[in-house]
Amino acid sequence: MAFLYRGVNVEMHRANGGRIFAKVSGPFEHVFRVDGTICLNGSATIGPSARNAVLAHQLGLPNRPDLHTSGISTTPHLERARYYATWGGVPGVVYVIDRAKLAALRVCEHVVTDTVYPLSLAASEDDEVILVAPGDGELPPAAIVEVIEA
């Protein structure tokens, strides 16, 4: 069985009632502004696309809410998820997601290294897989098979 993992701090876990949501809802696509702030380095395309959404998700700058996407970051590495769950020295949890259930739940996977130019990667050691859930952007609870305290 192949798993993906998502680490969050306990505060977020409690605030979301143990559920996983994307930062925003809506289509998983993005259009970059042509203002010189984003370099078209071989990853971005002209017009709206999921490829642009993957790149925007990687860039995800806090001062650029226009780069937030309807994707949910995950990793196939438990230790990387633990790192994110406890970042800043706080307690956290790691959600264990059964990858085999995703297609039946209509959750799309975007493997970042298959999509964007390597220099665009925020943290290559994550081997990030962005999940896009149908509807309001909540990962279906049936995909989560375990929650581990980190």
The phi, psi pair for 82, rounded to 5°, reads: -60, -40
For residue 110, what is the domain's CATH number?
Answer: 3.20.170.30
Mean pLDDT of the chain: 84
- Indicate whether 52 belongs to any domain: no
- Strand, helix or coil for residue 5: strand
- Indicate whether 54 belongs to any domain: no
State how far the Cα of 148 lies from the Cα of 135, in Å rounded to an integer.
27
State how far the Cα of 11 lies from the Cα of 86, in Å rounded to an integer.
11
- Indicate whether 63 belongs to any domain: no
- Indicate whether 32 belongs to any domain: no
Neighbouring C-alpha atoms within 13 Å toward the C-beta of 16: 18
**Domain extent for 89:** 3-24+70-149
Write the DSSP symbol of residue 75.
B
Per-residue pLDDT tens for 108-135?
Answer: 998 988 877 665 555 677 889 999 999 8
- Indicate whether 140 belongs to any domain: yes
- Indicate whether 145 belongs to any domain: yes
Structurally, how many domains does the chain consist of? 1
pTM value?
A: 0.82
Lowest mean pLDDT among 9-13, 73-77, 134-138: 134-138
State how far the Cα of 59 lies from the Cα of 51, in Å rounded to an integer.
13
Radius of gyration of the chain (CA): 15
- Indicate whether 75 belongs to any domain: yes
Per-residue pLDDT tens for 76-109?
Answer: 999 999 999 999 999 999 999 999 999 999 999 9
Q: What's at 68, amino acid-wise?
A: H
DSSP string, 80-140: HHHHHHTTTT--EEEEEEEGGGTTTTT-EEEEGGGTS-GGG-S-GGG--EEEE-STTSBPP
- Indicate whether 19 belongs to any domain: yes
